[in-house]
Structures are given as C-alpha cells and as structure tokens.
C-alpha cells in the first residue's frame, strides 16, 4: 500500500511539472527577396497566426564580404533574440537582414560599390516593399536600423538620408570614413572593441559627434573586429529598442 501511494505521488508531481513547464516561444527565420535584395527575415513566435498584430521592425545589416545569412549563421541572432524574449528583456519585433554589400572580389571594388550611394538611395523603396510584405509598422518610433562594419557605415548613411525615419540607430564597429548622423534619433548606440582596426577612425567620429553637440551612447569592449563582439553588441542594443 505504501509503495502504491508513493508511486501515485510521484506521478502527480510529474504531471504537475509537465503542466507548468512553459513552451519556448521561439521565432522563425525565412528567406525572401525584397526590392530585388536577398534577405533573411526573423519573425516573432506564431507570426502567421497573429494576423491582427503589427510589429516594430529592425533593419540589420552585415559587413564587407558578408551576406544576408551572416547574422543568423555567424551572429546567432535567432538564439540571442529568443533568449532575450524568454527573459522579458526585449520587445517582439520583425528583423530584416538584407544583403547590403555586393561581395566584390577586392577590397577596393567592394568599398567602392558599398559607398557609391546606391544602397541609401534605394532604401526608401526597399522599406516600402518590406512594409507591403510584412506586418511591420511604418511609424519612425517603431523602426530601428543597425549594422556592423560596412553595415555600420550603411546604417549611418541610410539614417541620415532618410532623416527622422528611424528612432533607434545602432553602429557596431562602424566604418566611418565620412561623418554623418540623423538629426534627432531617440537613440544612437555605438560600440567598438579596443583592438579593432577601426578604433582610431571611430574615435574621430565620436569627436565629430561631440563637436556638433550630438547625443549618443558609447560602449567600448575588449577585443577586435569579430563576431564575439558583434554578438555582444546586438544583445545589448536589442533591449534598448522600442522601449
């Protein structure tokens, strides 16, 4: 009899634990082409079923010789975002990761193509098509843009050309060989490693921001121009968006 009671109690405990264990609410990543640009798109949990909801959007860009898969395959974007969501540290959002650099064979060709003004000149059309395909907000307060290295340069240029269209701007180890900034974002969040080869040029950019009385947040880490740092930066930037 005692053995039966103990067994029954164990089964009840197991059932109780099973009932109270939450199901992980993880996002999904899909591949798409937006305005002829290959993209990866992170969608919130059960996005397809939540047809009455409109989500904030982050446009997240890669660096030189990267592609639309970099942030998911090298940057662990999905794991970082899902972990932050589980902790209640971040707002649900759609994250669009375009192939913003063409991938030319030499540094000079890649730099010239990336900085010829084509990307920022066409971004309004890219954004309009994204908004027609996905349930994302067209309000500047619900838009963010960020990127690493050359993607940081693109972030600076797009947010300046489309001034006032992005409330949240993130520049990670950004290439800043020219100096621009949107007029009044709610947040300009910048980060770089002490050993990054772009450290000195980014220090000059920070001086320019200060000379022009622009507000910004600066985070300096150890290490260099690498994915461990960019994973750290995106994990710090995401919770600051749409608060």
What is the rounded CA–CA span in Å between residue 183 and residue 191?
19
Task: Show pLDDT as tens, one digit a residue, over the chain (243 residues).
Answer: 444 444 444 444 444 444 444 555 789 999 999 999 999 999 999 999 999 999 999 999 999 889 999 999 999 999 999 999 999 999 999 999 999 876 665 666 666 677 788 889 999 999 999 999 999 999 999 999 999 999 999 999 999 999 999 999 999 999 998 899 988 899 999 999 999 999 999 999 999 999 999 999 999 999 999 999 999 999 999 999 998
Of 128, 129, 23, nearest in space to 82 by CA: 23
Of 186, 189, 181, 192, nearest in space to 214 by CA: 181
* Rg of the chain on CA atoms, in Å: 21
Sheet holding 57-61, edge to edge: 28-34, 37-43, 94-98, 57-61, 143-148, 168-172, 187-193, 217-221
Secondary structure class of 34 (helix, strand, coil): strand
User: What pLDDT sits at residue 12?
Assistant: 44
What is the rounded CA–CA span in Å between residue 5 and residue 22?
28
Of 144, 159, 196, 145, nearest in space to 175 by CA: 196
User: What pLDDT sits at residue 104?
Assistant: 62
What is the rounded CA–CA span in Å between residue 25 and residue 125?
32
- Do residues 85 and 93 lie in contact, with contact meaning Cβ atoms separated by under 8 Å? no
* Predicted model pTM: 0.88
User: What pLDDT sits at residue 157?
Assistant: 94
Q: What phi and psi values does residue 206 have, to the nearest 5 degrees?
A: -60, -40
Nearest 5°: the CA angle 87, 97, 76 is 45
What is the rounded CA–CA span in Å between residue 118 and residue 162?
13
State the residue for tokens 């349930």: 135
User: What pLDDT sits at residue 4?
Assistant: 44
How many C-beta atoms lie closer than 10 Å to residue 122's C-beta?
A: 14
3-state helix, strand, coil in the chain (%, to 5): 40, 20, 40
Domain boundaries, given as residue ranges, for the chain: 25-240
Class of the CATH domain delimited by 25-240: alpha beta
What is the rounded CA–CA span in Å between residue 145 and residue 127?
11
User: What pLDDT sits at residue 116?
Assistant: 80
Element (H, E) at 27: none
């Amino acid at each position: 009899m005692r053995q039966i009671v103990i067994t029954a109690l164990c089964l009840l405990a197991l059932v109780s634990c099973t009932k109270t264990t939450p199901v992980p609410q993880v996002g999904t990543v899909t591949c798409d082409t937006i305005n002829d640009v290959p993209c990866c798109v992170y969608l919130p949990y059960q996005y397809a079923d939540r047809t009455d909801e409109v989500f904030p959007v982050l446009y997240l860009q890669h660096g030189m010789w990267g592609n639309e898969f970099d942030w998911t395959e090298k940057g662990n974007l999905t794991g970082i975002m899902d972990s932050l969501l589980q902790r209640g540290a971040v707002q649900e959002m759609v994250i669009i990761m375009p192939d913003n650099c063409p991938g030319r064979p030499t540094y000079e060709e890649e730099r010239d193509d990336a900085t010829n003004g084509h990307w920022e000149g066409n971004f309004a059309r890219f954004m309009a098509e994204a908004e027609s395909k996905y349930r994302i907000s067209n309000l500047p307060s619900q838009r963010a843009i960020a990127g690493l290295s050359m993607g940081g340069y693109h972030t600076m240029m797009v947010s300046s050309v489309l001034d006032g269209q992005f409330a949240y701007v993130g520049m990670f180890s950004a290439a800043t060989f020219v100096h621009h900034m949107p007029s009044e974002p709610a947040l300009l969040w910048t980060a770089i490693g002490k050993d990054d080869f772009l450290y000195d040029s980014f220090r000059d950019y920070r001086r320019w921001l200060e000379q022009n009385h622009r507000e910004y947040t600066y985070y300096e880490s150890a290490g260099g121009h690498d994915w461990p740092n960019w994973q750290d930066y995106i994990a710090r930037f995401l919770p600051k968006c749409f608060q």
